[in-house]
Amino acid sequence: MKAIVISNSADVKTKPSPGLWHPIETIDIEKPVPKSNEVLVKISAVALNHRDVFSRQSLYPGVLPGVPLFADGMGTVTDAGSDSLRKQWVGKRVIVAPSRGWVSDRRAPDTSHFAILGGTKMLPVGTGCEYVACTNEEFVECPAHLSDSEAAALPLAGLTAWRATFTKGELPLNGPAKNVLITGIGGGVAVFAAIFAVHAGHSVYVTSSSKEKIDGAIERLGVKGGFNYKDKDWPDQVKKALGGALMDVVVDGAGADIATKAIKFCRPGAIISCYGMTAGPQIAYTMRSVLSHMDVRGSTMGSFAEFKDMVKFVDSHKVKPLVSHQFSLDDVEKAFLVMRDSQQFGKIVVTMTQSSSRL
Ligand SMILES: NC(=O)c1ccc[n+]([C@@H]2O[C@H](COP(=O)([O-])OP(=O)(O)OC[C@H]3O[C@@H](n4cnc5c(N)ncnc54)[C@H](OP(=O)(O)O)[C@@H]3O)[C@@H](O)[C@H]2O)c1
């Protein structure tokens, strides 16, 4: 079968650098044969995450040429290893889980072999190919209201947002309504966090460096307001907008000075749920935060149990992921460039249609 990989000619051991750009290519690899406890999924669409761009810059650990790229994918079950699985699943649309080796522990991965799909030696499986074999704990049925592209957009960013917002951020799923700030709404995880929190009935605010993205979040995602984190006084602006109320939770992908800034508008005992550190690789935590009982919590990806909960929520609330760009397989390089140059607001999807002569 065909697979999109980092080219075998790439020297992935070169010094990591944003200036690097390892070539990708379509190669032939062996089609998986489902084991007795597996189904075979024919992939229809995949989505990009920042880690795919980092892989081409050697900025991601364990990058391995020849391994199918991408963690996100959806498709249709075409075969199964046992008759009962065949009866139950063949013909159904499914979404592939973006990682393996984390079943249900709420605190952290419960196995030592937790790994994310796509392009690495830690787990030589990715969605960027024609077929992926999955056990029962590696896929879920696709909600009927999602198109293939919307379903492919969901896995990694959706799961990361789900855990950061509800598990670690402790926002209630069924009220009471809380105030939540989501930083850097240009990011894929942040968009999902905003969509989920709005659907769960919370008052959602965002930050961004872009007025267009703030306006887009208000108009398209239903958030209450936004603030430009480049304005020196943005924390004062948040406080003013809350009109005497305080922020309960911050879902943060920026790191750096978020805790010292958030102290101005957070209630005592507020949670900062941090899933990334785009703005700076450490978070300053001062005595003022100690006295305020502020919790700063790390959050990354999520378990298969959380993945199932997320997809159930998406199904019951008829959540629609925001797809920013959609490309055919012929234009996969263009998809990478959009992500590298941060031109997206929402997810970038590549459809694996047969219309392409290369797959
Ligand atoms: N833990 C996980 O499982 C996981 C999964 C995916 C990503 N991540 C991490 O999470 C972070 C975000 O990733 P992503 O792919 O969602 O987004 P991304 O494409 O890396 O975008 C990050 C966004 O951060 C915003 N930003 C930049 N500087 C900022 C600052 N000083 N304050 C607030 N926001 C700032 C920008 O938002 P605007 O464009 O709106 O200005 C930018 O669009 C990265 O660090 C990534 O490595 C973690």
DSSP labels for 193-243?
A: HHHHHHHTT-EEEEEES-HHHHHHIIIII--SEEEETTSTTHHHHHHHHHT
Name which residue sits closest to atom 24 of ligand 1, judged by CA. 184
Domain boundaries along the sequence of the chain:
2-156+302-351, 169-298
Task: Give the three-class secondary structure for 126.
Answer: coil
Q: Which residues line ligand 1 (CB under 6 A)?
A: 49-50, 160, 183-190, 207-210, 213, 229, 253-254, 275-279, 300-301, 342
Name which residue sits closest to atom 9 of ligand 1, judged by CA. 276
Tokens (6 digits) for 141: 């049925």
- State how beta strands 93-96 and 72-80 pair: antiparallel
pLDDT tens, residue by residue, 7-59: 999 988 888 999 999 999 999 999 999 999 999 999 999 999 999 999 999 99
Q: Cα–Cα distance between 224 and 178 in angstroms, integer?
A: 12
Residues of the chain with pLDDT under 70: 354-359
Q: What is the pLDDT of residue 287?
A: 97
- For the segment(s) 169-298, the CATH number from 3.90.226.10, 1.10.10.60, 1.10.1740.10, 3.40.50.720 is 3.40.50.720
Q: What is the pLDDT of residue 358?
A: 36
What percentage of the chain carries pLDDT values higher than 70? Answer: 98
Q: Ligand 1, from 196, 258, 278, 283: best to mutate by most atoms within 8 Å of Cβ?
A: 278
Q: Rounded to whole angstroms, what are the CA distances from 64 to 116, 122, 128, 156?
A: 13, 9, 14, 20
Contact 128/118 with Cβ under 8 angstroms?
yes
Q: What is the pLDDT of residue 197?
A: 98
Does the fold of domain 169-298 match that of domain 2-156+302-351?
Answer: no
Tokens (6 digits) for 135: 């056990």
Contact 203/177 with Cβ under 8 angstroms?
yes
Q: Cα–Cα distance between 177 and 203 in angstroms, integer?
A: 7
Task: Report DSSP state, residue 68.
Answer: B
Q: What is the pLDDT of residue 111?
A: 81
From the CA of 188, give the closest atom in ligand 1.
16
Q: What is the pLDDT of residue 37?
A: 97
Q: Cα–Cα distance between 289 and 296 in angstroms, integer?
A: 9
Q: What is the pLDDT of residue 342?
A: 86
Q: What is the pLDDT of residue 357?
A: 36
Contact 183/252 with Cβ under 8 angstroms?
yes
The CATH class of the 2-156+302-351 domain is: alpha beta
From the CA of 209, give the closest atom in ligand 1.
41
Count the Cβ atoms, other than its own, within 10 Å of residue 92: 13
From the CA of 187, give the closest atom in ligand 1.
17
| Distance between Cα 189 and ligand 1 center (Å) | 7
pLDDT tens, residue by residue, 259-277: 999 999 999 999 999 999 9
From the CA of 50, give the closest atom in ligand 1.
15
Contact 162/304 with Cβ under 8 angstroms?
no
